[in-house]
Structure 1
């Protein structure tokens, strides 16, 4: 593990128990359409991303750039 992810491995070595960790319950909702007049789902609303991954802003930025390209064509 240390060779693959040194930062995570160092953190894992400091753990003495898992009591401070909680199971994150997440619900996935699927939609047939991502757009309606005046509305576009982006970020976590449009992608299967766990909140703990903290990628919502990056996904929102990437989606909005693509949407802007499509709208301007």
Structure 2
């Protein structure tokens, strides 16, 4: 059984509306030095099978990430 973590994030150059909202809120709360905020997502699961990294890549390309605008990084432990 492998623990898999998939980090999904917007590609550089893609407008991150949620990141801009977080940045504005943090600035409004007094953290004026915060800039270029990017928000992503973390998907964790256990995988019981052969080649968890390879299968996780297939999962990302099929469902977990929109590869047109998002990149991803896979960690297997």
TM-score range, shorter chain: under 0.3
Specify which structure has the bigger relative contact order, considering alpha-carbon pairs within 8 angstroms and separated by 6 or more residues.
Answer: 2
TM-score (norm 1): 0.25
- Larger-gyration structure (1/2): 1
TM-score (norm 2): 0.24
Structure whose residues are more often strand by fraction: 2
Structure whose residues are more often helix by fraction: 1
